[in-house]
Chains A and B, each alone.
Chain A
Amino acid sequence: MKRFFSVVIMLAVLTVSSLTLVASASAEDVKMVGTISEIKIADDGKSATAILKDTKSGESVTIVVTDDLTLDKFKDKRIVEGDEIRCKFEKQDGKNSSKIFKKTAGC
C-alpha cells in the first residue's frame, strides 16, 4: 500500500513538474488595456508594431500585429494613435505577438 502511495505521489510530482516545465517553456498570454502612442506599419504592409501605454502601470509595451483585420484598421485609420485598446498578446522570445487587438468596448 505504502509503495502504491509512493508511486502515486511520485507520478503526481512528476506530472506537476513536467506541466510547470511545459508552461514555462510555452508562450505566456498577457491581457492589457492601453492607449496607443505609436503605430508603425512595415514597408511590406504585412505587419505593424503598436506601442501601448498600459492604463494601469503607465508602462509602454510594444505589440507586433500581423492579422489582416487589424492591419486593415490601421491602414484605414479606423484604429489610430490615442485610441484605447483591449489587447491580448503572446509573450515569446522577447516579442509580444498580438492575438486580440480591438478598441475598448462600450457605447
Chain B
Amino acid sequence: MKKRVLKLATVMLVGGMALPAISRASDDELEKKIDKLVKEVEELKRSVKKVEDKSIGKWLTIGGDYRFRYDYLRGQTRPFTDAAATFANAQNKLQQGYFNAIATGADPTPWAQGISGMTAFSQQMAGVKTYSQAKTFLAANQQMLAGLGNYAVQVPAYKPENSSLYTNRFGIDLHAKATENITVTARLVMYKVFGSQDSAAIDATGNAPYFADRVGVFDGTLGHVPSNSYLDVDRAYATWSNIADQPIWFSVGRRPSTNGAPSNLKLNNERPGNGGTPSLLVDYAFDGMTLGYAPDIEALPGAYAKICYGRGFDSGFRDTPANSIADTDMLGIAVIPVDTDPLRVWLQWNRGFNIFDFPTMSNTYFGNTMPKANLGDIDWYGAGAMSTLKHVGPGNLNMFADFGLSVTHPNDNVSSQAGFQGLMTGAFLNPEAPTSKTGWAVAAGLRYDLPSKTKLGFEYNHGSKNWITFAPAADDMWTSKVGTRGNVYEGYVIQELNLKPVSSYLSKAFFRVGYQYYDFEYTGSNNWVGAPVKMSDVNGQMMLLAPLKKAHDVYATFEVKF
C-alpha cells in the first residue's frame, strides 16, 4: 500500500514539475503561431493593397450614354435663286446645246464659245481674293453675268418636311488617373441617322441647304451632327492639376468645348464644372488647351478663371506657291466669379482669328469644300448667370439668363466660292466694302424639377440682325438655335425613370419630349459669310443657302446615361 502511495506521489511530483515546462512549450508554440499568422495577415494585406492599387476601378472610370431621338421637322422657305444650281444649270444647258447642235448638224460655235467663256469665268472667279479684285472682275464680266441670268434656277417658296427622322447616338466616356495630379479624359461618340451613313437627311437632301452649320459634318461638329456609325473621338485631353501645389491646372487635347452651361439643363446633364464654355458663344469641338486657376476664396465659392486656346483650322505649310491661307485660331478668357448651386455667374471674351469661309467637308451640296479665304477676326463678349433654387413649391427651380455680343473685324478678303461675300458683308456676286458689324443675342430659360422626377422646361432665344456665334455643334437639328437671327421658343418635358442606379451613382434613364419653334427674322443664321437680309425682303435674290422663314421641330428621346 505504502509502495503504491509512494509511486503515485512520485508520478504526481514528476508530472507537477514537468507541467510548467509543457505549458511553456505550448505558449512558445502559440506565440510562434500567432507571429506566423500576423505575418500572413500583413502579407495578405500587402497583396490586397497591391491588387487594389492595380485594380482598374482604382484608376479608370468608364461611363457613357445612349440616345434614341425622333424628330418631326417642318419649315417654310422664301423664294430665292439657287446660286450653285444656277451655275450647274448654265454648264449643263451649254453642254446640252453644244451636243444637240452637233447632232442636228447646226453650228456648235456659239455653244462652244459659251462653254469656254463659262469655264474662263469660273477659273478667273476662283482667283479673286479681295473686295477690289471682285469689283474689277464683275465690271469686266457684265455680259457673262447677264448671260448667267438666263440660266437662273429660281426656287419658289416651299414647305420642307421630314415626318420621321430617327437617330442613334452612343457615347463612351473614359477617365483615367495616370499619375498623381495627371488625368486623361476621353469621349468616343457614334451619331447616325437610321438607315443612313451620311448627313444628307440633316441638310436639304439634294436641294440648297438651309443653314451653314448643317451643310455637312466637319471637324467642329463631328459627333454632334449625325454622320455615320464610326466611333469618333469627340474628346481626348490630358489634365495636369495642382500645379506647384496650387489650384492651377493645365489641360490640352480635344477639348470639352461643347454642351456648355446652361445647355446642360435642357440636355439633363450635370453642370459642366470647370470645363466647357457658355453655350451661347461657343459650342464647337475644338482641339486646344486651357490654363486655369481656381483660388480658394471663401467669399467667392467655386470661383475660377481660365485662358483657353483652340485651333479651328490648320492650313498646313505656308509660303508655298499654292497656299496663301492662314490658320484659324480661337483665344478666350473666362471668369467665373462664383459657381454654386444657387448662383453661377460667367463672364467670357473670345476672339476668332483668321476666320475661314468654308470648313472642310465632303460630299455636300456644294461638293467637297475647304477653306479658301481668311475673312477677318471676330470678337465675342458674354455675361450670364444660372441658379438653382431649392424647395420652390413642391420642387426645385432652375433659371438662367445669358447675353452675348459679336463684333466683326473684316479684312479686305472675299470668298470666291461664296460669290465674293465677305465677313458678314455682301451678297452673292454683289460684294460690299468691309465694315465691322455688331450683333447681340439673349437667351433665357427655366426648368422646374418635381419630386416625381418630372422636369418641365422652357427656353427663349433672340438674336439680332448681325448676331453671329460659334456654336455649330449645338444639339439642334435644324440649326444651332443660339445662332438664330430672330426668335426661338422651346418647351420640353423630361421624365426620369425611378430606377436604382447600378453602373454609377449618376446613371439614369429618361424620356424627353420637346418642341422648338424658330422664327427667323434675317437670313444667314449661324453663317458669317455674307450680310443678313431681312426675311420679308427676300424675294428671288441669288443665294447659296435656302432662306428658311419658320421652322418647327417636335422631338422625343429615350436616353440612358451609365
Binding site for B on A (CB under 8 A): 31, 33, 55, 69, 72, 77-78, 80, 84, 86, 88, 99-100, 102-107
A-chain residues with CB within 8 Å of residue B301 when the two chains form the complex = 69, 100, 102
B274 interface residue (CB < 8 Å to A) = yes
B249 interface residue (CB < 8 Å to A) = yes
Pick from A55, A80, A103: contact of B273, CB under 8 Å: A103
B-chain residues with CB within 8 Å of residue A100 when the two chains form the complex = 296, 298, 301
A107 contacts B290, C-beta separation under 8 Å:
yes
B294 interface residue (CB < 8 Å to A) = yes
B369 interface residue (CB < 8 Å to A) = no
28 example contacts (A-B, Cβ-Cβ < 8 A) are as follows A33-B242, A69-B340, A69-B341, A69-B342, A72-B341, A77-B505, A78-B270, A78-B506, A80-B505, A86-B242, A86-B294, A99-B298, A100-B298, A102-B302, A104-B241, A104-B242, A105-B247, A105-B274, A105-B293, A105-B304, A106-B274, A106-B292, A107-B185, A107-B249, A107-B256, A107-B276, A107-B290, A107-B292
Which residue of chain B has its CB nearest to the CB of A55? B180
CB distance from A20 to the nearest CB of B (A): 25
A1 and B510 CA atoms in complex are apart in Å by 84
CB distance from A84 to the nearest CB of B (A): 8
A107 contacts B340, C-beta separation under 8 Å:
no
CB distance from B454 to the nearest CB of A (A): 17
B183 interface residue (CB < 8 Å to A) = yes
What's the tally of chain B residues with a CB closer than 8 Å to chain A?
33
A-chain residues with CB within 8 Å of residue B292 when the two chains form the complex = 105-107
Q: What 0/1 readout, one digit per residue, does chain B (84-113) give for beta carbons within 8 Å of chain A?
A: 000000000000000000000000000000
A106 contacts B239, C-beta separation under 8 Å:
yes
Q: A78-B270, A100-B301 are in contact. Are A105 and B249 (CB under 8 A)?
A: yes
A80 and B340 CA atoms in complex are apart in Å by 17
Mark out the residues of chain B between 24 and 81 whose CB falls within 8 Å of any chain A CB in the assembled complex.
none
B149 interface residue (CB < 8 Å to A) = no
Q: What 0/1 readout, one digit per residue, does chain B (234-260) give for beta carbons within 8 Å of chain A?
A: 000001111001011101000010000
B-chain residues with CB within 8 Å of residue A103 when the two chains form the complex = 273
Query: In this complex, which of A99, A106, A107 has the most chain B Cβ atoms within 10 angstroms of its Cβ?
Result: A106
B275 interface residue (CB < 8 Å to A) = yes
A55 and B179 CA atoms in complex are apart in Å by 12
A-chain residues with CB within 8 Å of residue B180 when the two chains form the complex = 55
A53 and B239 CA atoms in complex are apart in Å by 21
Binding site for A on B (CB under 8 A): 180, 183, 185, 239-242, 245, 247-249, 251, 256, 270, 273-276, 290, 292-294, 296, 298, 301-302, 304, 340-342, 390, 505-506
A88 and B390 CA atoms in complex are apart in Å by 26
CB distance from A107 to the nearest CB of B (A): 3
CB distance from B173 to the nearest CB of A (A): 13
Q: A55-B180, A77-B506, A100-B301 are in contact. Are A107 and B273 (CB under 8 A)?
A: yes
Which residue of chain A has its CB nearest to the CB of B272? A107
A-chain residues with CB within 8 Å of residue B505 when the two chains form the complex = 77, 80
Q: A78-B270, A100-B296 are in contact. Are A106 and B340 (CB under 8 A)?
A: no
Extra 10 A-B pairs, beta carbons < 8 Å, given A55-B180, A86-B296: A72-B390, A77-B505, A77-B506, A88-B296, A105-B247, A105-B248, A106-B183, A106-B239, A107-B275, A107-B276
A-chain residues with CB within 8 Å of residue B251 when the two chains form the complex = 106-107
CB distance from A106 to the nearest CB of B (A): 3
Which residue of chain B has its CB nearest to the CB of A88? B296
Chain A to chain B: the 9 pairs with minimum beta-carbon distance, closest first: A107-B275, A106-B249, A105-B294, A77-B505, A106-B241, A107-B274, A106-B239, A104-B241, A105-B247
Which residue of chain A has its CB nearest to the CB of B177? A84
B-chain residues with CB within 8 Å of residue A86 when the two chains form the complex = 242, 247, 294, 296
A88 and B290 CA atoms in complex are apart in Å by 25
Which residue of chain A has its CB nearest to the CB of B58? A82
CB distance from A55 to the nearest CB of B (A): 6
A104 and B302 CA atoms in complex are apart in Å by 11
A33 and B341 CA atoms in complex are apart in Å by 23
CB distance from B343 to the nearest CB of A (A): 10
A44 and B207 CA atoms in complex are apart in Å by 63
A-chain residues with CB within 8 Å of residue B256 when the two chains form the complex = 107
A80 and B504 CA atoms in complex are apart in Å by 11
A-chain residues with CB within 8 Å of residue B302 when the two chains form the complex = 102
B-chain residues with CB within 8 Å of residue A107 when the two chains form the complex = 185, 239, 249, 251, 256, 273-276, 290, 292
A-chain residues with CB within 8 Å of residue B276 when the two chains form the complex = 107
A77 and B249 CA atoms in complex are apart in Å by 24
CB distance from B194 to the nearest CB of A (A): 34
CB distance from A39 to the nearest CB of B (A): 12
B-chain residues with CB within 8 Å of residue A80 when the two chains form the complex = 505
B-chain residues with CB within 8 Å of residue A33 when the two chains form the complex = 242, 245
Which residue of chain A has its CB nearest to the CB of B390? A72
CB distance from A93 to the nearest CB of B (A): 20
A55 and B242 CA atoms in complex are apart in Å by 11
